[in-house]
Amino acid sequence: MSTAPLPSPSTGLARGPSRPSLALCCTLLGVAIAATGALALSVGGVPLSPHELLEVLAGRVDGMAAVLVMELRLPRFVAGLLVGASLGLAGQLMQTVTRNPLASPGITGVVAGASMAVVMAQVGWRVDATWLPAIGMLGGAGAAALTFLLAARSGFSPLMLALAGMAVTALASALVTAFLLFSGAQAQQLYGWLAGGLQGRGWAHVGQILPWAAGGLVLSLATGRWLNLMHLEDSVARSLGGAVTLLRLGFVTLAVALTAASVAVAGPVGFIGLIAPHLVRLVAGVDQRQTLPLVALTGALLVTLSDLLARTLAAPQELPLGLFTALIGGPLFIALIRSRTP
């Protein structure tokens, strides 16, 4: 005779079957990220041997090798880590708060809205780069609000959320195209940025996204218990002490902020916020205290690995980073839509 899973007194979630430990999963992801980093720092127009790379990282070598690693490849890799972690966390927050497996920054129009706001600011007002995450946050928040409003009118189903997000994305993309027509000499640079990528990213870009990514990770981990309540019906969550409306607004705001900071640095990189949470849930379940750090690491691995492929497969030319994230995320998105369509 089978028995139902027992609820956890600390989270209200049912205990599922035994799963790999958090420490083991983090270790495996950490090893994969370290291996990707070693390749990212070594491979390129001027390849470096493992010994040369270690010498540079130890500070015992000057010259061209040191410049390549410390000023070009390392900041690009670190920026990729932060962008991937931020997008993964944003996707996890959105999917949990909306209880919708398709609610990711790209699908809900947040990426397109943030991109639109950044392009408008660059073309119309030429604002300083330090303001771009905040400006992108305003655009992303507006796009998310419009998407959720449209989806709510039709029952907020996964399919309707995807359709509403596509409509908002199309609107934002049309506005971006209109602004690009008046961008003059900036057009080529902005087109490259809109393709999504980490080419030319340096320590200034790392400093631009680091406070947002670090703050978002700390806040997410600190509020993991409250995020677990979002899995439950609103009435049940309230009975357990959760201010549901305030929590939902706070988590969506955090997701939009993480997305906006990523867009400001790397442009619109799609599907990471959709892919990473689903991959992690296959292994770690739904307890946010387990999944949040794993989602951040998985997002970081996906972006840095995709960037390595984008930089090396067609060298000396670079392919768009979004090409590789779309090749991974596109089939998964289609499979999710098909699995939830009657």
Tally of helices (H runs) and strands (E runs) in the chain: 15, 0
**62: in domain:** no
**163: in domain:** yes
The conformation of residue 186, written as its DSSP 8-state character, comes to G
**154: in domain:** yes
Nearest to 322 by CA among 179, 168, 192, 223: 192
How many domains does one find in the chain? 1
pLDDT reported for residue 6: 37
pLDDT reported for residue 200: 87
Instruction: Look up the domain containing 327 and give its range.
Output: 102-339
**1: in domain:** no
**73: in domain:** no
- Sign of the alpha-carbon dihedral angle for 129, 130, 134, 137: positive
3-state secondary structure of 182: coil
Q: What CA–CA distance (Å, rounded) separates 98 from 162?
A: 13
Contact in structure between 268 and 115 (CB atoms under 8 Å)? yes
Task: Tell me what the pLDDT averaged over the chain comes to.
Answer: 85
pLDDT reported for residue 5: 44
CA distances in angstroms from 49 to 52, 54, 56, 317, listed in the order given: 5, 9, 11, 22
Phi and psi for 14 in degrees, rounded to 5? -75, 140
**219: in domain:** yes
pLDDT reported for residue 13: 54
pLDDT reported for residue 9: 41
DSSP element (H, E) containing 132? helix 132-152
**Region label for 327, one of left (φ > 0), alpha (ψ between -120 and 50) or beta (otherwise):** alpha
Q: What CA–CA distance (Å, rounded) separates 342 from 330?
A: 20
Q: What CA–CA distance (Å, rounded) separates 123 from 118?
A: 9
pLDDT reported for residue 168: 94
**Residue 147, domain CATH:** 1.10.3470.10
**29: in domain:** no
Nearest to 270 by CA among 29, 109, 92, 81: 109
**125: in domain:** yes
- Sign of the alpha-carbon dihedral angle for 148, 151, 157, 159: negative
List, for the chain, all residue ranges whose pLDDT scores fall below the cut of 50.
Answer: 1-12, 14-15
Is the pTM of the predicted complex or chain greater than 0.75?
Answer: yes
The set of residues, in sequence order, having a beta carbon less than 8 Å from that of 133 and lying 6+ positions away, is 208, 209, 212, 257, 260, 261, 264
Terminal Cα distance for the chain, rounded: 33
Lookup result for tokens 């690491």: 297
pLDDT reported for residue 1: 40
pLDDT reported for residue 341: 55
